[in-house]
Amino acid sequence: MYIRRYVLAVMPLIVSSSSNHICRVCEPFCTCDYSFGRGSEQRVLKMSRLPKTWLITGSSSGFGLLLVRSILAQGDNVVATSRNPSRTPDLVKEVESTSKGKWLTLDVTSGATTISTVIEEASKIFGTIDVLINNAGYSIFGAAEEIAEDRAKAQFEVNFWGLIRVSQAVLPIMRAQRSGTIVNMSSVAGLTASPSCAIYASSKFAVEAWSESLCQEVAPFSIRVLIVEPGIFRTNFLGSGAVQTQPVSEAYRSNVVDIMLQRFEDMNGRQQGDPVKAAERIVENVQRGLTKEELGKVENLRLPLGHDCYDRVAEKMAKLKQNYESSKSEDVDVAIKE
């Protein structure tokens, strides 16, 4: 903390008063190489970047594990978490074999008090939490009509409410230090819902909405919110341990729901997306950061990953625009005539 305060004190002396840029990587605790100003007045800080401390939920597999490895490889600190670390002793040993890695037990469905206790413990390991990645989640597929209420609520408990609980526990730390990044792992399904994905997509739509509001609320504290929207990647997402499937009834057999479920089954292990590259893109995006002027703006909120994500969302936006434009003349003018 003393080093960081010193950096805050000397930054105005290093950067000319005419510069209207701040470091896009680790402001306000910047000691990295970055160009300030424009044109002939451009200056460059030639110093080494202080390591960030990242906390990641759902670290035992998929994107969570790949993110942990990517972050450690670049020299930052990582607090990896999972619901039951005893099930992955080799991974815990791998992460904790370096002084920059620590693994804690964190069940995102626990109560707020329990989660706050874990977050407080995590923040003391390396002195703070600079980046939170809400990655814990799973999927349940099946016909919207046939997924029972308790299974739907369990899906939201992890994918949505768990994310909120952890974020609410970390935000006071970030507000106090007036810096931080919250990365919420959504999905292309958070913007466009396919048959058989009603409950899973709903949980991700909720994440998108909550994040969109949050990013505007916390920007004044120099806190960034980033939504990551992966398409189809070759992780364990479609594997038996990560996905739950509601068997289709006779009514939906050979229906689009049944066809989509079969497509998912056939796709498992053959997805085109490289999850290692995706994890690297996420880390690079967080490290690049935003200027203060860019913080809180919805146009800077999302990171789509994969051509399939981009294509599906572009198609959705085109259809949404067509829907709105076709309705405008008849349906918009519904004001009370005074």
Rounded to the nearest 5 degrees, what angle is found at the Cα of 113, between the Cα atoms of 109 and 117?
Answer: 100
Rounded to two decimals, what is the model's pTM?
0.81
Catalytic residue among 60, 82, 200, 202: 200
Q: Is 2 a catalytic residue?
A: no
The mean-pLDDT minimum among 11-25, 45-59, 158-172, 312-326 falls in 11-25
Those residues whose C-beta lies under 8 Å from the C-beta of residue 136, and which sit 6 or more positions away, are 57, 58, 64, 82, 83, 108, 158, 162, 163
Query: Which of 68, 279, 253, 320 is closest to 185 using CA atoms?
Result: 279
User: 319 with 312: CB under 8 angstroms?
Assistant: no
First-residue to last-residue Cα distance in the chain: 61
Catalytic residue among 204, 211, 222, 252: 204
Task: Give the pLDDT confidence of 27-43 residue by residue, as tens digits.
Answer: 444 444 444 444 433 33
Domains and CATH numbers, the chain: 2-45 (no CATH), 53-322 (3.40.50.720)
Q: Is 319 a catalytic residue?
A: no
Say if residue 196's pLDDT is above 80.
yes
Q: Is 200 a catalytic residue?
A: yes
Percent of the chain exceeding pLDDT 90 equals 56
What whole-number distance in Å separates Cα of residue 215 and Cα of residue 269? 35
Kindly state the average pLDDT of the residues 1-5.
Answer: 47
pLDDT score recorded for residue 46: 35
User: Who has greater pLDDT, 244 or 89?
Assistant: 89
Tell me the pLDDT band of 185, cut-offs 50, 70 and 90.
Answer: very high
Q: Where is 266: in which H helix or E strand?
A: helix 256-267
Catalytic residue among 186, 202, 203, 211: 186
The mean-pLDDT minimum among 54-63, 255-264, 295-304 falls in 255-264
